[in-house]
Amino acid sequence: MAHLFRELSLGHSKRETTSSPPPAPTFPNRATTTNLPSPLGLLASQLTDSDLRLTAYEIFVAACRTSSGKPLTYIPNSDSSTHPSPSSPGLQRSLTSTAASKVKKAFGLNSPSKKSPGSGSGQGKPRRSLTVGELMMTQMGVSETMDSRVRRALLRIAAGQVGRRIESVVVPLELLQQLKLSDFPDQQEYDAWQKRTLKVLEAGLLLHPHTPLDKSVSTAHRLQQIIRGALDRPIETGKNNESMQILRSTVMALASRSSDGSLYDSCHWADGFPLNLRLYEMLLEACFDANDESSIIDEVDELMEHIKKTWGILGMNQMFHNICFTWVLFHRFVATGQVQMDLLYAADSQLVEVAKDAKTTKDPEYSKTLSSTLSSILGWAEKRLLAYHDTFDSGNIDTMQGIVSLGVSSAKILVEDISNEYRKRRKGEVDVARNRIDTYIRSSLRTAFAQRMEKADSSRRASKNQPNPLPVLAILAKDVGDLAINEKQVFSPILKRWHPFAASVAVATLHTCYGNEMKQFISGIMELTPDAVQVLIAADKLEKDLVQIAVEDSVDSDDGGKAIIREMPPYEAESAIANLVKGWIKTRLDGLKEWIDRNLQQEVWNPRANQEGYAPSAIEVLRILDENLDAFFQLPIPMHPALLPDLMAGLDRCLKYYITKAKSGCGSRNTFIPTMPALTRCTTDSKFRRFGKKKEKSPNSQKRNPQVATMNGDNSFGTLQLCVRINTLQRIWSELDAMEKRIITRLRNSGSAHAEDFSNSSGKKFELSPAACVEVTQQLCEAVAYRIVFRDLSHVLWDGLYVRDPSSSRIDSFLQELEKNLMIITDTVHERVRTQIITNIMTASFDGFLLVLLAGGPSRAFSQQDSQIIEDDFKSLKDLFWANGDGLSSELIDKFSTAVRGVLPLLRTDTESLIQRFRRVTLETYGSSARSRLPLPPTSGQWNPTEPNTLLRILCYRNDETASNFLKKAYNLPIKL
């Protein structure tokens, strides 16, 4: 403080007064100071603030009327009010009109807003400048009568103790002896004054002594007895009075006592802690204008200069002055309504000096006072800062900045200069300011969050009878978002001075608070409901907003904001929504699959069910698929594009399941192809042929060859029912493209899709179903074809064609029956699959024709001359499908007749050539091992003139001795089964 007084100056008003000083002020606001207990210590005595103030004034007057080496002198105020003596000491010096108050300029303090008590403007009366003594008297609320009485007593003391320093005088003791009943207007006032003075002695010598008392000190007991007795019955204070002499000797003995038993040169009666601090606090309070308690008087420089003269009596020094003045400035800011920011800034500036003092002294009393004072200041500040959202807003943000600065400065001194724990650690490891701000932010925002949550709950209850009320957490998400924005705009710029990433800490705290609620909420969600979706969407938006603030605020941090982002684990709101939607999808798909199972079990595949010739279940399954897609896009979620592939894949699987089930039990190509009979050889005189003639049967017999395959459920899977299944699959396949286009339209209208969501078709098309339709349709076409050829027409193919005598059992009957079936098929199946199914029937017919020639059993035998009949019959078969150009194309017919056209030339080839070709092909196939013994080639079913088994079968059915002998010799084949 001292250097501040010297370095700075600030103008002040010259105080003028009339010949009579004004009456003492009533200090209307001082009662409010009791709201903030003084940290300077509680007194054990019953002295009131008024008692302490008067005692402090007595010490002030006594200290200021003397200086080193000069006697205590006095010029009565009543005698010199208009003509001050040139030799008057400090108290009688008039206040000067200096250009500026150094103290006020140092702290940026304002001048009083009202005229001070000494600046009255009585008209017609002469004016003069107030003296320091008069100003102090007015500021401390001391009456002129009391002031005159004190000065008169001090004059008498000075007269009797010339040459003594004031530090060697026990002022209360001397006042007791000098002031008589005659100095007071009545006995009652005198008694009250005496009791107060004795209490001061008790406080300074017994209750709060400079040197601790030993319980065995008899003088202390004696003084206690005297004071107790005097409180009941006033003592005589005359100079030669025995009671007064006892009191004097007792008081002086205690006041001069040292810790080692020796006597001090000076007296110690007001310098014990905390009495001295409380008295000094009273003196410093006088620096504030009596009529405007939030302002310091202009004459503070000179007044402070005189106040410091009490240090010798009170045992004060610059360090104690600094901490006391800090407290007084802060206390006055609080007591006057926290509106005078100059006081707050002044206290904060004073803490700079306090911090310097704290680093240079080890005085235990000072450390105790420092810790108590700063703890009180910090406690008051943190009560507001730990919930600063309740205390501050944009209208009083400057106040917040001052309080934060004060709190942080106090905390730094407490931690860095007082805390032993801090000293044990490297200072670089602890950033006190940043840690405190971090604590304030997190604490206040947790409190604010709890309040917002309660508010959101109240809002929800208030709107529960309204349509579609918002869920609590959805309301809370918006409130938290608003809170984060307000934090960023209002508070973070202030707090950033001490914590560079204040906004990041704030949003991380809010993120955690809301995240705790979200964890509980998500754990309790069992199904996709509108409320659940609303909350999750609101949470997702809030999280994105909070993370964005954190990223922007911490972009310049050492780690680029990674640490703060780690404090913000994702809510997984999108994941929760996705899981709920996936659950919703699964439920829908499970229901669809159950429906497919149930309906396909009941489906009759009746071609007369409707004009189109397809199953009603196909229309229904397509409708259900469309309904599910429509319901999906009506879900209030922001991620239709992301979850659509899950739904599409599931619907695709269900539709494929329907398609697969539609062919279940219908058989396939191999189901109807008969088992090939064992290889035999034949001759024209074969007993088997003669046996066969005896068992001759009508070519029109309907009895099936035992070699023809049979299947269960014959009536359920007739040819027409199979055709209905084919039509059904064709209808499904034709609808998929339109359905996919509707999906794109829905996606575009959902509002949640972006341009990149349309850049590829993945997840928006049926991937499995179209291929399944094609595959199953082909399988059903084959089943229809081979059923017709090998089952429905087996009586004319297997039981009639080329049996016994090829010339008398030609293909005409088979062609007639086949044509009838083709007409039925053409009328039943959809035009788009007619060519496909007829092609399959053609293929089956060609396979059946070859099977008769190469695996027709021992009832068939062909001579070389029969080849022309067979070739003519095959041409007739091809012509049936060509239909004079109205049927299949010649290219298509040629493509699928390749195998037959390759085998027919073998029928007109002579036997020797066939045998030679067979030997050569077999050797080529099996190598040199076949030279000694020809192996029996297995049946591959792939008939080909270069395939050993095909050549072997031509020989087996060749009706001549050469072939029979070769087969007997090579393989010992029998001529009958």
How many other CB atoms are found less than 10 A from the CB of residue 439? 15
Total domains present in the chain: 4
C-alpha radius of gyration, the chain, whole number: 59
pLDDT at 88: 38
**Dist CA 341 CA 438 (whole Å):** 24
Contact indicator for 813, 699 with CB cutoff of 8 Å:
yes
How many other CB atoms are found less than 10 A from the CB of residue 337? 11
344 with 441, same domain: the answer is no
Say whether pLDDT at 385 is over 50.
Answer: yes
Contacts of residue 791, Cβ cutoff 8 Å, sequence gap at least 6: 672, 708, 709
How many other CB atoms are found less than 10 A from the CB of residue 973? 19
Say whether pLDDT at 713 is over 50.
Answer: no
What is each CA distance from 319 to 39, 323, 357, in whole angstroms?
16, 6, 6
147-156, 302-311, 497-506, 601-610: which has the minimum mean pLDDT? 601-610
**Dist CA 566 CA 544 (whole Å):** 14
What is each CA distance from 175 to 59, 157, 226, 255, in whole angstroms?
11, 8, 17, 16
Of the pLDDT bands very low, low, confident and very high (cuts 50, 70, 90), residue 657 is very high
- Terminal Cα-to-Cα distance of the chain (whole angstroms): 132
The answer to whether residue 604 is domain-embedded is yes
pLDDT at 515: 94
Q: Please name which of 298, 369, 373, 372 lies closest in space to residue 329, comparing C-alpha atoms.
A: 373
- Region 706-713: what's the mean pLDDT? 37
Of the pLDDT bands very low, low, confident and very high (cuts 50, 70, 90), residue 756 is low
What is each CA distance from 143 to 24, 94, 139, 152, 946, in whole angstroms?
6, 19, 10, 14, 142
How many other CB atoms are found less than 10 A from the CB of residue 387? 18
pLDDT at 107: 60
Q: Domain of 622: which CATH number? A: 1.10.357
457 with 424, same domain: the answer is no
**Dist CA 208 CA 273 (whole Å):** 6
- Region 749-754: what's the mean pLDDT? 76
- Region 319-327: what's the mean pLDDT? 96
The answer to whether residue 177 is domain-embedded is no
pLDDT at 545: 95
Task: Retrieve residue 167's tokens.
Answer: 């530090």
The answer to whether residue 208 is domain-embedded is no
704 Ramachandran zone, left/alpha/beta (phi>0; psi -120 to 50): beta
805 with 846, same domain: the answer is yes
Q: Which amino acid is at 73?
A: T
**Dist CA 510 CA 504 (whole Å):** 10
**Dist CA 930 CA 822 (whole Å):** 47
Of the pLDDT bands very low, low, confident and very high (cuts 50, 70, 90), residue 466 is low
Task: State the DSSP H helix or E strand holding residue 354, giving kind and residue range, or none if neither.
Answer: helix 341-360
Q: Please name which of 415, 325, 423 lies closest in space to residue 378, comparing C-alpha atoms.
A: 415
503 with 567, same domain: the answer is yes
Say whether pLDDT at 34 is over 80.
Answer: no
- Region 63-67: what's the mean pLDDT? 69
- What angle in degrees, to the nearest 10, is found between the helix axes of 502-524 and 432-462? 40
pLDDT at 2: 36
Name all contacts of 85-91 with Cβ < 8 Å and 24+ positions apart. 89/64, 89/65, 90/64, 90/65, 90/132, 90/306, 90/309, 91/61, 91/64, 91/65, 91/131, 91/132, 91/133, 91/136, 91/306
pLDDT at 607: 79
Give 324: exposed, middle or buried? Use CB within 10 Å, 0-12, 13-18, 19+: buried
Greatest Cα pair distance, the chain, in angstroms, is 180
415 with 556, same domain: the answer is no
**Dist CA 470 CA 531 (whole Å):** 7
Query: Do β-strands 16-17 and 128-129 pair in parallel, antiparallel, or remain unpaired?
Result: antiparallel
- Region 118-125: what's the mean pLDDT? 42
Greatest mean pLDDT range, 83-87, 279-283, 661-665, 715-719: 279-283
Say whether pLDDT at 110 is over 90.
Answer: no
- Region 101-121: what's the mean pLDDT? 53
pLDDT at 698: 40
Q: Which amino acid is at 129?
A: S
493 with 424, same domain: the answer is no
pLDDT at 563: 84
**Dist CA 204 CA 227 (whole Å):** 13
Give 833: exposed, middle or buried? Use CB within 10 Å, 0-12, 13-18, 19+: buried
Contact indicator for 74, 155 with CB cutoff of 8 Å:
yes
The answer to whether residue 27 is domain-embedded is no
| Tokens 């001359």 sit on residue | 865
- Region 529-540: what's the mean pLDDT? 89
Of the pLDDT bands very low, low, confident and very high (cuts 50, 70, 90), residue 426 is low
Task: Retrieve residue 551's tokens.
Answer: 């990223």
Q: Which amino acid is at 203?
A: A
Among 571, 591, 626, the domain boundary falls at: 571
- Region 811-833: what's the mean pLDDT? 93
354 with 465, same domain: the answer is no
| Tokens 């999108």 sit on residue | 574
pLDDT at 108: 59
pLDDT at 424: 54
pLDDT at 763: 76
Contact indicator for 476, 456 with CB cutoff of 8 Å:
yes
What is each CA distance from 257 to 204, 213, 219, in whole angstroms?
13, 10, 11
Give 969: exposed, middle or buried? Use CB within 10 Å, 0-12, 13-18, 19+: exposed
**Dist CA 596 CA 603 (whole Å):** 10
- Region 757-764: what's the mean pLDDT? 72
What is each CA distance from 801 to 696, 793, 822, 855, 942, in whole angstroms?
13, 11, 19, 12, 22
- Region 832-851: what's the mean pLDDT? 95
Enclosing domain of residue 625: 577-674+712-773
Greatest mean pLDDT range, 558-562, 750-754, 877-881: 877-881
Contact indicator for 613, 727 with CB cutoff of 8 Å:
yes
pLDDT at 646: 93
Among 363, 395, 430, the domain boundary falls at: 430
Say whether pLDDT at 700 is over 50.
Answer: no
pTM of the model: 0.70
820 with 908, same domain: the answer is yes
Contacts of residue 407, Cβ cutoff 8 Å, sequence gap at least 6: 377, 378, 381, 382, 385, 436
How many other CB atoms are found less than 10 A from the CB of residue 894? 11
The answer to whether residue 832 is domain-embedded is yes
Say whether pLDDT at 37 is over 90.
Answer: no
Contacts of residue 609, Cβ cutoff 8 Å, sequence gap at least 6: 615, 616, 724
758 with 642, same domain: the answer is yes
What is each CA distance from 357 to 33, 375, 432, in whole angstroms?
27, 17, 19
464-473, 504-513, 746-755, 950-959: which has the minimum mean pLDDT? 464-473
Say whether pLDDT at 737 is over 70.
Answer: yes
Say whether pLDDT at 817 is over 80.
Answer: yes
Q: Please name which of 469, 459, 551 lies closest in space to residue 511, comparing C-alpha atoms.
A: 551
**Dist CA 972 CA 462 (whole Å):** 101
For the residues of 231-296, what is the DSSP string, one character each? HHSPPP--TT-HHHHHHHHHHHHHHTB-TTSPBPSS--SS-STTHHHHHHHHHHHTTB-SS-TTSB
Q: Please name which of 280, 271, 273 lies closest in space to residue 56, comparing C-alpha atoms.
A: 280
The string of pLDDT tens digits covering residues 228-272 is 998 888 888 877 788 889 999 999 989 988 766 566 678 899 999
The answer to whether residue 391 is domain-embedded is yes
Say whether pLDDT at 94 is over 70.
Answer: no
The answer to whether residue 234 is domain-embedded is no
Q: Domain of 952: which CATH number? A: 1.20.58
Residues of the chain with pLDDT > 70: what percent?
A: 82
* 3-state SS record for 290-335: CCCCCCECCCHHHHHHHHHHHHHHHCCCHHHHHHHHHHHHHHHHHH
Contacts of residue 588, Cβ cutoff 8 Å, sequence gap at least 6: 628, 631, 650
459 with 599, same domain: the answer is no
Contact indicator for 154, 62 with CB cutoff of 8 Å:
yes
The answer to whether residue 53 is domain-embedded is no
For the residues of 43-90, what is the DSSP string, one character each? -SS---HHHHHHHHHHHHHHHHT--TT-------HHHHSSS--TT--G
Does a cis peptide bond (omega within 30 degrees of 0) precede residue 274? yes
**Dist CA 236 CA 882 (whole Å):** 154
**Dist CA 2 CA 217 (whole Å):** 40
179-193, 746-760, 953-967: which has the minimum mean pLDDT? 746-760
730 with 696, same domain: the answer is no
Say whether pLDDT at 1 is over 60.
Answer: no
**Dist CA 849 CA 63 (whole Å):** 141
pLDDT at 924: 86
CB-side neighbour CA atoms (13 Å) of 251? 28
477 with 422, same domain: the answer is no
Beta-bridged to residue 131, according to DSSP, are 94
* 3-state SS record for 117-179: HHHCCCCCCCCEECEHHHHHHHHCCCCHHHHHHHHHHHHHHHHHCCCCCHHHCCHHHHHHHHC
Indicate the average pLDDT of the chain.
Answer: 83
Task: State the DSSP H helix or E strand holding residue 769, giving kind and residue range, or none if neither.
Answer: helix 769-787
Among 571, 605, 636, the domain boundary falls at: 571
